[in-house]
Structures are given as structure tokens and as C-alpha cells.
Amino acid sequence: MTLPVFVRYQQVLTSKTEPILSVTSLSQVARERGDKLWEMWRPLDIASVVIPMFEQRIPVPRFITFKLLLSVGEPNASNSAGQWLHTKLSGRQLLPPEGDSLGFWFEAKDMDLSREKLGVTDGYGASGLVFLLREGHPISEERARLLAVVQSLPVGARVPLLLVFTPQRDTFRNEEHRFRGSLGLEDLDRTRIACHYISPTFVKSHGNTLAGRGLYSEHYLKEGLVWLANNMPSQPNLVCQHIRDVVLNNLDGHLKLLSVTAASKVSPERCVLIFNHALESAMSRIRSAVDSAPPHWPPPEVDAEVNGLLSQVLPRQGWNDPVNLDPIFTALRLAQLPPFPTMKQLRPGSPTSDWENVRHQKVR
């Protein structure tokens, strides 16, 4: 009486284990897994991630430099998350502006090199800092490492900080709250770090442990990059012009107005005032361009490109240095005309009249 039951049970068991994967199916699974691994570990196309955000701004910038500082630890087998981040952000990109299209330059700088190899200018022109909270390291050690990297940034940099970590549990939002306090994120130097954002390398679900085998999700990384681009120091739209052309452009509108004005209303005083105002406006435009640019911008790494493709959209390093600007301001001030003398000053007997000065010379 038990045999039919056993047979039915055996049949049920057999039906649950079917169908058996064929050789073709196994090859397809292996190929799909390989494709997924290749996609997860290939460098990101940074331009395609962040440029759409810049194109929505008004006005649309002509050219963007996007320099990221990386502090992700040694890229080795014991630090797979650091190795993954280093690989994803290792590409260098240059898209020269064409027509109305936005130009773009990207490069990542490794800040985990020894202090002897890091130069003073490595943090110049940075758009953001990517810091990885390494697994297996005490939180006090990671806090000290973060503070050291922040202190190496130039004062006034005010870059956004993207803090990346590998979650240990499903409720990674609780870990974010813990990191804010244990790492002292709210106490960071605000002249160097303007804001921060915490992002996981992946999110566990239903016991998923694929990240332990090197499978990370770039979804959160892309979100973090867009956040960095949206919060990075603003960059000005600059135009390369000769200082003479800047003055002439300021004069152009006034000269057109004078050309249609009755001659009796075009006084010498007015002409002197217009000319001096054009010089002052030129100085004001230069100061406005300097004030709108972040400190030490553009990055020194892009300086080699300025002589070629980017000469019309990017200035050279030191363009806003007072040593280079003071001679220009001095020349513009010296070019200003003195106030045109009034009739009262020209009347005989006036101590400032030319006629009185000449007569005084004859008496002597």
C-alpha cells in the first residue's frame, strides 16, 4: 500500500528537478555572467553621466572641467570596492566644444599616493572628492584618513564630498546616520568641504552577497557623480578677448548714441565721461570674471590643452593672479582722461585757469 505513495512522491521529486540544463544553457549562463562582470568593471563614460545635467542649466556653460579627487585605498584584492571605484573612474576624457555643443574635460587624481609624491597643486581646480570607507578598518582610522585628505585641499576649494561605503546589512540608511557622527562629517572644514553625500556600493536584498564576489552596482555611483556635478564649484563662461577690444565694446553703444545726437548737446565733458566709463567698465568685467571662478581654476592638468583646442574657452593657469592683473588695471587707470575744465576754471582770475598760469609764468 505504500508503494504507490512512494512512486507518486518520487514522481513529484523528479518533476521539481526538471528541466535539466543543457550544455548550451550552461554556456549561455557563463557568457551572460561574463558580460555582466565586464560591464560592471569597465570604466564609466563620465561625460554621458553628467553632461545631461549641465545641458539643463541656464545659461548652458560652454565648457566644463570635471576633476575628481579619489581616496579609495590601495586597489588590490583585499580592497575590492576600492579596486572597483578606481577602475570605474580611471578614464580620462576630453570633448572639445563644437558649435553649440558643450565641451567637457574629465580626469581623476589619486590622493592616496605618498605625501612625498603629492604636490601642492594636486587639489587645485577640483570639482569633488570621492572617499571610500574601507571594509575591515576601524572607524577611527578612516576618520583620521578622511581628515588628512581634507586638510590637503586648498583653503577656499569648497568641494562636495561623496562618501562611498559597502553596506553590511539591508537597512543601510541606518549606517549612513551612524557614519555622519562617527566620521565627524558635520565638523569638516567648510572652507574645503562644502557639503557631503553618502552612497552605498550596492544594496543587499534577500541575502544577496554578490558584492562579496566583486559584483557592484553602478546605479548608486552614477547618482553620486550627478550629485557631485550638481554641487561642484560653479565655473564661469569666459571669452578670450584683447583688453583693447573690451574697451571698444564698452564704447560702441555710447558712440552710436553720440552719432545721432545733435552736435550742440555733445559736450567735451560728456565725451571724457564716456571714455573713462568704458575703461572702468572694462576693469569691472575683469573683476567679475575673476570673482566668478573657483580658486586655482582651471585645473593645472588641463593647462597643456589650453594652447591648442581649448584656447578660446579656458584661460591658462595664473590668469587671475594679482601679479598678472595689476599691470592691466594700472594701464587702464593711466589711460583715463582728466576732467575737462569748466568755463569757471578757464575764466581769468581763476587760480586753476591756463590763462592765469601763463600770466604767472610771465611775471616770474
123 and 173 fall within a common domain = yes
85 occurs within a structural domain? yes
Model pLDDT, residue 178: 82
- Least confidently predicted of 84-98, 126-140, 143-157, 211-225: 211-225
48 and 164 fall within a common domain = yes
Higher pLDDT, 76 or 300: 300
Model pLDDT, residue 136: 86
363 occurs within a structural domain? no
194 and 319 fall within a common domain = no
100 occurs within a structural domain? yes
Return the CATH number at 47.
Answer: 3.40.50
Instruction: Give residue 34's Cα distance to chain centre.
Output: 34
207 and 274 fall within a common domain = no
161 and 257 fall within a common domain = no
9 occurs within a structural domain? no
Residues contacting residue 206 through CB under 8 Å, at least 6 positions apart = none
Model pLDDT, residue 344: 60
281 and 341 fall within a common domain = yes
286 occurs within a structural domain? yes
Position 46 pLDDT exceeds 70:
yes
Residues contacting residue 108 through CB under 8 Å, at least 6 positions apart = 67, 68, 69, 70, 89, 90, 92
- Least confidently predicted of 84-93, 115-124, 140-149, 337-346: 337-346
Higher pLDDT, 130 or 117: 130
Residues contacting residue 321 through CB under 8 Å, at least 6 positions apart = none
Residues contacting residue 131 through CB under 8 Å, at least 6 positions apart = 71, 72, 146, 149, 161, 162, 163, 164
29 occurs within a structural domain? no
Model pLDDT, residue 4: 44
Residue (of 209, 220, 215, 202) closest to 37 by Cα position: 215
Strand 103-110 relative to strand 63-71, pairing? parallel
226 and 132 fall within a common domain = yes
- Least confidently predicted of 11-25, 91-105, 301-315, 337-351: 11-25
Model pLDDT, residue 3: 44
281 and 326 fall within a common domain = yes
Model pLDDT, residue 346: 57
- Please tell me the distance from the alpha carbon of residue 146 to that of residue 183, in angstroms, as a whole number: 8
For 87, the domain range is 35-231
What percentage of the chain exceeds 90 in pLDDT? Answer: 39
Residue (of 163, 192, 195, 191) closest to 179 by Cα position: 163
254 and 222 fall within a common domain = no
Higher pLDDT, 306 or 222: 222
Higher pLDDT, 58 or 112: 112
- Among 211, 231, 251, identify where a domain stops: 231
Model pLDDT, residue 347: 58
Which of 112-126, 160-174, 273-287 is predicted most confidently?
273-287
361 occurs within a structural domain? no
Model pLDDT, residue 48: 94
Which whole number is the average pLDDT over 27-37?
70
271 and 219 fall within a common domain = no
Model pLDDT, residue 56: 87
Model pLDDT, residue 310: 79
26 occurs within a structural domain? no
Position 334 pLDDT exceeds 90:
yes
40 and 69 fall within a common domain = yes
125 and 220 fall within a common domain = yes
Find the helix or strand (DSSP H, E) in which 304 lies. Answer: helix 303-306
> What confidence tens digit (pLDDT) does each residue in 126-176 have?
999 999 999 889 999 999 999 999 999 999 999 999 999 988 755 566 677
**Domain total of the chain:** 2
Model pLDDT, residue 202: 77
Position 42 pLDDT exceeds 80:
yes
Higher pLDDT, 25 or 162: 162
Residue 121's pLDDT band (boundaries 50, 70, 90)? confident
Position 64 pLDDT exceeds 90:
yes
Q: Which three cell numbers stand for residue 64?
A: 566644463
Model pLDDT, residue 253: 80
